[in-house]
Structure 1
Amino acid sequence: MLLSAAARRRTPCPGGALLVVGDSPRVVVVGGGPGGYEAALVASQLGASVTVVERDGVGGSAVLTDVVPSKTLIATAEVMTLVDGSVELGVRFPGGAGAPTDPGLDRPGGAVTVDLGRVNERVRQLAAAQSGDVRERLRGEGVRVLSGTGRLAAPDRVVVDPADASADGPADGPADGSAGEELAADVVLVATGSYPRTLPDAEPDGERILTWKQLYRLQELPERLVVVGSGVTGAEFASAYDALGSDVVLVSSRDRVLPGEDVDAAEVIEDVFRRRGMTVLSRSRAQEVKRVGDGVVVALADGRTVEGSHCLLAVGSIPSTAGIGLEEAGVQLSESGHVEVDRVSRTSVRGVYAAGDCTGVLPLASVAAMQGRTAMRHALGDAVQPLKLRTVAANVFTAPEIATVGWSQAQIESGEAQGEVVKLPLVGNARAKMQGIHDGFVKLFCRTGSGTVIGGVVVAPRASELIFPVALAVEHRLTVDQVAQAYSVYPSLSGSLTEAARRLHKAPSVAG
C-alpha cells in the first residue's frame, strides 16, 4: 500500500536534500551497475529501506558486458604482449623466430597461440562471478533486488516492468519480487547506463558485425578484424586483438587515434600500432558495413572498401533514458538524451537523482560509483563533497596503457591553466631498460609559482597503477618538492615520477 505524503513527516536537509524522519526512508535505485549498487550500499548503511531494480543482472553492463569482460580479455592480450617482447630478454620458444632484428617487435613465430573460445568462456565466468559477488553483498546489507525495468510513474513511484531477454551477456540468476510491482519512494536514483551506438547502414548480427557487447560469444579468433572507431573502446579492442593474433584494421574518422587523449600519448600508441603491423586508416569515415558470405565489407565515405572476416562497431554509446518515464516525471534531459545533473547528482526534480553513463558526466565506472555514493549521502543528509572531475584518474587499456589525471597539457598551452610541464621518456629509466620497455613516458604538470602538482600523464605498461601517486598529489595539492622528497624504489618505473618532480623544482633566487 502506498503511503500518502501526509502519513510521513519530512524534514529538509542541508543543501535541499530530503530526509524522512520516523520511518526508514524508502530508496529505489533504477539500474544495478556501479552507480546503482554503490548508491544502494551507502543508502542501506545510512538506514534507508533500499530496493534495486535491474534489467540485465546485478553489476549492469559494467560487470556483465563492458568493463569486467573487456579488461579480462585484455589481461590475456597483455600476456601475449609480454610474450612478444620476451625474445629480447633471452627467452626462447620451440619453433620460435629466434633473436629479433627490431628489439621488442618480432613475434615468437607463432609458438604461442590463443584459444579464443576458452578465453571468452573465462570472460563470461568471471563476469557472472563478479555479478554474483555484488548481489550477495547487496543482500547481505539488506538491499532488495528486483529483476525488471524500472519506470518512473511519478517522481515518488517506480513501476517494475518485465525485463526483455538479452543475449548480449551472461544471465545473472533469479531476483526477488516480480514484474508489475509498484514501489513507493522518498528518493529515486536513476542509474540506467548506456548501450552501444551503431550506424544506420551497419546492423549488428552478433556473428560477423558486432558491438563490444557481442564479442564474448566468439569461439574463434577473427582472421581479419575491422574496428570502426578509434576512441578509447576502439583503440583498446584493436590493441587487444592485435596482441591475440588477429590481423587488425582500425578505421579512424579523425587525424589520429584517441583524439580525446594527450597528443604525445596518442602518437606513441598509433606508432606502436603501426610498428606491430596494424593497419590504421586515418581520416576515414565508415559509411556502411555489409556481411558478404563468411566476411564483411566496410564501405568508406571516400569510396574505398575494406574487407575483413569480422567488424567491430566502436562508435560511441547512447544513454538508456528513453521509455522509462523520465521526461513525463519532469526530469530534464540534454539534446543527447543524457540526464542533466549537478555536482551532487541531483536532477531537475526534487528527490530524483542520477548517476553513471546515463548522465554523460564522465563515462567511467569509478565516476559512476562516486556519483551514486554522493547522491545518497546528499539525499539522506550525510556529509557530502561535490564531485570534482579535475581529480579523476582515467586509463586507456592499450599496450602500453595511457593514464591521466588533472589538467592537460593542451589546457596549459591554451592558457586555461597556468602551469609548467616536464616530460621524461621511459627509455632513460633503468627498470624500463631491464624489462625491455621502449615506448612511453611520464609527464608532470605543476602550477606556475606555487609548484603545486595539477596533473600528469603516464604512458607505460600498467600505467593504471603508476598514475595513483600523481592522483594523490593532485587531490591533496602536494607540491613538486613534496613529491620529490618521497623515496621511490630503485630501480622502478615510479622513479621517473620523482625525477620529473625534481626537474620541476625552482631554486630560490639569490640576492645580489
Structure 2
Amino acid sequence: MTKFDYDLFVIGAGSGGVRAARIAAQHGAKVAVAEEYRVGGTCVIRGCVPKKLFVYASHYAEAFEDAVNFGWTTEKVAFDWPTLVANKDKEIDRLNKAYIRNLEGAGAELIMARAAFEDRYTIALSDGRRVSAKYVLIATGATPFVPLHLPGREFAITSNEAFHLESLPQRICIVGGGYIAVEFAGIFNNLGVETVLIHRGEKILRGFDEDLRDHLTNEMKKKGIEFRLSCDVARIERSGTGVRVTCNDDAVFGAGQIMYATGRIPNVLGLELEKIGVELTPHYAVKVDDYSRSSVDNIYAVGDVTNRLNLTPVAIREGHAFADTVFGGRDIKVDHTNVPTAVFSQPEIGTVGMTEAQARAASPTIDIYKTSFRPMRHTITGRDERMLMKLVVDGGTDKVLGCHIVGPDAGEMAQLLGIAVKMGATKADFDATMALHPTAAEELVTMRQKWTG
C-alpha cells in the first residue's frame, strides 16, 4: 500500500497539465489535477482559441468589401459585437466540457480548487484538504503583465478582459510589440476600431526575421493602424468613459480603452515554491532540466511556467514527454528547435527555423531566396496587399535553415514546411518538388534566383 494519495498530482489544467495527466493515467498512475478556474488553460479559455475566433470575425470586414468585385451584393451587412462574444463563449464552454470529459475518461481525478505546496510531497487545497503525491507537476502557465509602477495601471485592460468587453470602443491604444499586441491590433482595426499600437522598441516582433518584421509593419500601416515606435506610456488617467494616455515623449491622446500586451509572466504566485526550495530563473520561471525536472527531484514543470518556448503545442509535447518518461518507462527529451509558429496578425505570419541573422551567425555562407507579390485574389479586389516568402539556405550544405512567410494561410504553410525543415530538406529538394498551380505556396518551390539586395 503506497504512502501517497496519488502517484501524480498536477497543478493546473491547461494544455500541458491535461496532456500529462491523461498519459500518466493511461500508464496506470493514480492521478489528480487541481484547477481553480476552468479546464483548458490560457489557450482554450482566454488565448489561442477565442483569439482565433475573433481573427476570423474581423476578416469578414475585408471579405465583404472584396466580395463586391467578385459580383456579390452586400448592402445589408452589419456587425454585432455581443453576438460574437456570446458565440465565442458557447464554443469555450463546449471545449471546457470536452477537456473535462477527456481527462476523466482517461481515469484522472479533477479537483476544482486552488493548490499550493505544504512540503515537497504535500499539497494544500483551497477547500481545506491536504493530499500527498509521489510526483508533482506544475503546469500553471503564465499571466498577463501590466507594469506595477505605472501610474494609472488600474485603468488598463489585458487580453483577458478584451475577450469580454461589453462594447467596442471607438478608439483603442494597444501597448506592446509581440504576438498578442499585433494580433489584437488587427482584430480591433478590422472591426472598425481606430487602433494605435505603442511599442518601446524600434520594431515589432522581436526575435522574428527582420524582413518579416518590416513587411508586416508596412502592411498593418496600409490597413490604417497607427504605430508609435520607440515610445512608452508614462501614465494613464481616467477621462470621461475612456482614458487619457501620456507617453514618455510627451504626446497625449485619448482612447476608449488601453490594452497592455507587453508580455506574460510565469504564474507561480501563491504556489509557496519558496517553502520547498524549487529554484526559479531571474524571470520567475520554474527552472527545469531537459526532462522538465525542477531543482526538487520529484517536482516537474511544463509549459509557459518554465518560460522555455511559450506555445501550446510545446506545452502539450512537454507534458506528454514527462508522463512517458516518469510513468511509461521511456527516456524522452523534447526538442525545442525548428518549432513552427504562426502570428495571426493581418496579414498572417508563418515561420519555422532560423532567421537570416541567426543563420549568418551560425554558418559562414548563407543564401537567401525571397519574393514578394500580390496574392491572386487581390488582382480582382484591387486591395494593396503584398505577400512575402523567404528561404534561408546554408550555402555549404544546401540545407534549408529557415522558411518565413507573411500572407494568407501563412500558418498552414509553416506547419507543413516544419516537416521539411525538421527532416533536413535541401534547397535542391524544394526545387525538385513540382509546383501546385495556381497557389501562393508554389512560390516556395519555384524560387531560383538568390537574393542579392
Q: Deviations over 1:82-104 (max 9, x none)?
A: 2344445454433xxxxxxxxxx
Residue matched to 2:314: 367
2:161 match: 214
Tell me which amino acid in the other structure corresponds to 1:183. Answer: V
Residue 3 (1) aligns with residue 15 (2): no
Structure 1 residue 71 and structure 2 residue 18: aligned? no
Corresponding position of 2:125: 160
- 1:321 corresponding residue in structure 2: 268
Alignment of 1:120 with 2:85, yes or no, is yes
The 2-side partners of 1:310 and 1:246 are apart by 11
Query: Separation in 2 of the partners of 1:75 and 1:62?
Result: 16
1:201: which partner in 2?
150
Q: Which runs of 5+ in 2 are unaligned?
A: none
1:334 match: 281
Does the aligned pair in 1 maintain the 2:359–2:401 contact within 8 Å?
A: no
Say how many residue pairs are matched. 448
TM-score (normalised: structure 2): 0.92
Distance verdict in 2 for CA 1:216–1:439, change over 3 Å: same
**Counterpart in the other structure of 1:93:** 74
Deviates more, 1:237-246 or 1:328-337: 328-337
> 1-side partners of 2:397 and 2:216: how far apart?
33
Distance in 2, Cα, partners of 1:488 & 1:232 = 31
Match of 1:40 among 21, 26, 34: 21
Which residue of the partner structure matches residue 99 of structure 1? none
- Aligned residue in 1 for 2:421: 474
Counterpart for residue 132 of structure 1: 97
CA 1:50–1:398: 2 relative to 1, 3 Å: same
Say whether the 8 Å CA contact 1:403–1:457 is kept in structure 2.
yes
1:257 maps to what in 2?
204
The RMSD of aligned alpha carbons is 2.3
Q: TM-score, normalised by structure 1?
A: 0.82
Task: Quickly say closer, same or farther: Cα 1:331–1:434, change in 2 above 3 A.
Answer: farther
Pick aligned residue for 1:150 from 105, 115, 133: 115
Q: Secondary structure at the match of 1:274?
A: helix
Give the ranges of 4+ consecutive aligned residues of structure 1 lying more than 6 Å apart after TM superposition.
Answer: 434-437
- SS of 2:287's equivalent in the other structure is coil
Is the CA contact 1:291–1:297 (under 8 Å) kept in the aligned structure 2?
A: yes
Q: Distance in 2 between matches of 1:332 and 1:409?
A: 35
Looking at structure 2, the residues matched to 436 and 389 of structure 1 have their Cα atoms a distance apart, in angstroms, of: 41
Q: Rate the CA distance shift 1:157–1:362 in 2: closer, same or farther, 3 A.
A: same
| Aligned pair partner of 1:225 in 172, 180, 196 | 172
Q: Which residue of 1 aligns with 2:327?
A: 380
Equivalent position amino acid for 2:342 in 1: N
Map of 1:7 onto structure 2: none
Alpha-carbon distance in 2 for matches of 1:421, 1:445:
5
2:434 — aligned with what?
487
> 1:55: how far off?
1.3
1:390 to 337, 345, 360: 337
> Partners in 2 of 1:214 and 1:454 — Cα distance?
39
Deviation at 1:457, TM superposition (A): 0.6
| CA contact 2:14–2:41 (8 Å) conserved in 1 | yes
Distance 1:47 1:436 in 2: 60
What is the CA deviation profile of residues 316-336 of structure 1, one whole-angstrom value per residue up to 9, with x for unaligned ones?
A: 112111221222212110111
Amino acid in the other structure paired with 1:134? Y
Structure 1 or 2, whichever has the larger Rg, is 1
Q: Which piece of structure 1 moves more, 253-262 or 338-347?
A: 253-262
Query: Residue 192 of structure 1 contacts residue 358 of structure 1 at CA under 8 Å; is this kept in 2?
Result: yes
C-alpha distance in 2 between matches for 1:387 and 1:253: 34
TM-aligned CA deviation for residue 295 of structure 1: 1.1
Cross-structure match for 1:54: 35
Counterpart of 1:256, as a letter, is K
- Pair 203,214 (structure 1): closer, same or farther in 2 beyond 3 Å: farther
1:424 aligned residue (371, 376, 381): 371
Instruction: Provide the rounded CA distance (Å) in 1 between the counterparts of 2:164 and 2:359.
Output: 44
Using a 3 Å threshold, how does the CA distance of structure 1 residues 381 and 423 change in structure 2: closer, same or farther?
A: same
Partner letter of residue 340 of structure 1?
Answer: K
Distance (Å, rounded) in 2 between the aligned partners of 1:275 and 1:426: 16
1:494–1:443 distance in 2 versus 1, CA, 3 Å: same
Cα distance change, pair 230–290 in 1 and its aligned pair in 2 (3 A)? same
Amino acid at match of 1:369: I
Shift in CA distance, 385/93, structure 1 to aligned 2, threshold 3 Å: same
CA-to-aligned-CA distance 1:50-87 (integer Å, 9 cap, x gap): 11111111112221112221111111012223234444
Whole-Å Cα distance in 2 between the matches of residues 435 and 416 of structure 1?
43
Instruction: Note closer, same or farther for the CA distance 1:278–1:35 as it changes in structure 2 (3 Å cut).
Output: same
